[in-house]
Structures are given as structure tokens and as C-alpha cells.
Amino acid sequence: MSERVNSWYDMNGRVVVLTGGTGRLARHYAVVLSEVGANVVLVDLVQATCDAVAAELRQQFGTEAMGLQMDISNKDEVTAGFARIWDRYGRIDVLVNNAAANQLTVFDGKLVDFEDFPLEFWQDNLDVNLTGAFLCSQGAGKRMSEQGSGVILNIGSVYGVVACDQRIYGDTGINSSVAYATTKSGILNFTRYLASYWQGKNIRVNCLSPGGVFNNQGEPFLSNYTGKTMLKSMADPDDLASALLYLVSDASKWVTGANLMVDGGWTAW
Ligand SMILES: NC(=O)c1ccc[n+]([C@@H]2O[C@H](COP(=O)([O-])OP(=O)(O)OC[C@H]3O[C@@H](n4cnc5c(N)ncnc54)[C@H](O)[C@@H]3O)[C@@H](O)[C@H]2O)c1
């Protein structure tokens, strides 16, 4: 690869705060970001798991990865957490608002009807998916303003852009909740608001909206799902990691306020 193209994706020494950092997709993102030299701060609920993933990254890539237990919906924990990151690195280059509340749609062994959707599930989704992104963006944005640069990437979903198609779930036991759809939609205009708020400050804010990732979902869900995509498949974690790398690196240095759909064409027809 040419030096020029390499330089677009080079994240050497950059500090990337990744919330929900020990989740399924984030672990994959953390590896890819480490491959291009980033120091990844893995933020999640259990310190021991954060530490274990950070230690693996340090050992495998020689970076300065860090594990940080922080409930992103708790203002005091977020304030203290970002102070620790700042103390340790003296900069925050990227924040990825990736954490999401458990998208619980099954309760007492039954799919939850909208009419009975428990208030606590609704509140939990709002607290993590929206308030968490809000608090972390305050924590990171303060430092980014100070240092005069930064990138915030919010993780949305196809279900933040179009309605969850109830027909593909049937009695598969899988579904997606009203709270998830509502918060993932909210994160889109949160993205545009912040991009506009920090205009002229060299802080870019974008959103990545993935479609469903293959995770050994059985039939008939798999056929129902893939039939709705133009590429006739579910996502591979690399399909999302490559888009994420584009949006957090200099490859996208003239992109802000945007929402990138990575959904196999799901929302294009
Ligand atoms: N997996 C998919 O098919 C898919 C599709 C579209 C969008 N997404 C989005 O991608 C992101 C990652 O998805 P995933 O499948 O890896 O999810 P995941 O459930 O594996 O990971 C989410 C992580 O967030 C953490 N978390 C939850 N509440 C938290 C809190 N209060 N503070 C800190 N951390 C908290 C969890 O502990 C978990 O590690 C989510 O935003 C999700 O909505 C996923």
C-alpha cells in the first residue's frame, strides 16, 4: 500500500475510548484499532474483563491499551472515568459511543408485547443508549475542545432509520424492542447536533448504522433476514470494523454530521 493511503488509516499513538469495550463487536473493533497502532481504552461494566482484554491487546500489539470499569449512565462514574483517561494519556483523540443496553425483548420466557413493555427496560435503554452517549460525549468533548481536535463516532442501527420489520421474526423468539428503535433513532440527531455544535473546532461527529451481524442465528430467521438485504447476507464483524476505521481515522477527515449505513442494502429499497 502507498505511504499516502497508509497515512489515512494510521492511528499510531491515538487514544480511542471505546464504550461497551468488552462486548461482542467492540472486541473485534479493539483488535482492528490496535492493528493500526491505537491505544484503546476499553470501557465496560466489569473491571476484570476490561483489564483482561486490555492486557491481551498490550501483549499482542505493544500498544498502551487500558481497561476502565465505568457505568456510562452514571454521571459521577463518567466524570471520574474521563479524568482518569486524561491523567493517563493527556489526550483523547476518539470516542466511540458503542455500548448498548441489553436489547431485552423476552421476559418470563415470552416475547414482550409493546402494550406490556416494562417501563424499566424502556428506561434502561434510554439511560445507556442515549444518556450514556450524552455523558461520555461531554467528558470527551471537554478534552477535545481543549486540545483542538477529536472524533466522536456514535453507533446506531438500521432500526434507528427504518422500523423493525415484525414479519421476519414470527415465532423465532428473536425480536427488537421499541426502546432500541427509539434510542437508535435519537442518536442520529444527537450526532448532527454535536457536529454542528463543534463546527469550526476540528471535532468531527458521525454515526455508523449497522445491519444485523451473523451470529449463528438459525432458520427461518436467517433466510427472512438475508432476503431483505441486497447482498443476501448478514454482516461479518469486519464489514463494520472497516467502516468504523474509516470514520475514526483521517481517511474521513472531511466527513462530519454523517450517518453511514452498513446494512447490505437493507434500507436502500
Ligand atoms: N450485533 C448486531 O447485530 C448489531 C446490529 C446493529 C447495531 N448494533 C450496535 O452495535 C453495538 C455493539 O453491539 P454488540 O452486538 O457488540 O452488543 P453487546 O451486547 O455484545 O455489547 C454491548 C456492551 O455494552 C456494555 N454495556 C451495557 N450497558 C453499559 C453501561 N451502562 N456502561 C458501560 N457499558 C455498558 C455491555 O456490558 C456490553 O459489553 C451496539 O450499540 C448495538 O446496538 C449491533
Do 149 and 93 touch, CB atoms closer than 8 A?
A: yes
Interval between CA 69 and ligand 1 midpoint (Å): 15
Task: State the pLDDT at residue 170.
Answer: 77
Predicted confidence (pLDDT) per residue in 85-133, tens digit: 999 999 999 999 999 997 666 666 667 888 988 899 999 999 999 999 9
Q: Residue 147 and residue 201: Cα distance in Å, rounded?
A: 10
Indicate the top mutation candidate among 98, 130, 168, 215 to test ligand 1's pocket, ranked by most ligand atoms within 8 A of CB: 98
Do 122 and 155 touch, CB atoms closer than 8 A?
A: no
Name the nearest CA neighbour of 132 among 47, 17, 240.
17
Structural domain boundaries of the chain? 3-262
> Is the beta carbon of 237 within 6 A of some atom in ligand 1?
no
User: Before 237, cis peptide (omega within 30)?
Assistant: no
Residue type, 156: G
> Is the beta carbon of 22 within 6 A of some atom in ligand 1?
yes
> Is the beta carbon of 100 within 6 A of some atom in ligand 1?
yes
Interval between CA 25 and ligand 1 midpoint (Å): 7
Task: State the pLDDT at residue 103.
Answer: 63
CATH dotted code for 3-262: 3.40.50.720
Q: In which residue ranges of the chain is pLDDT below 70? A: 103-110
Indicate the top mutation candidate among 129, 157, 182 to test ligand 1's pocket, ranked by most ligand atoms within 8 A of CB: 157
Which DSSP string corresponds to 38-60?
-EEEEEES-HHHHHHHHHHHHHH
Number of H helices, E strands in the chain: 9, 9
> Is the beta carbon of 263 within 6 A of some atom in ligand 1?
no
Q: Residue 28 and residue 239: Cα distance in Å, rounded?
A: 11
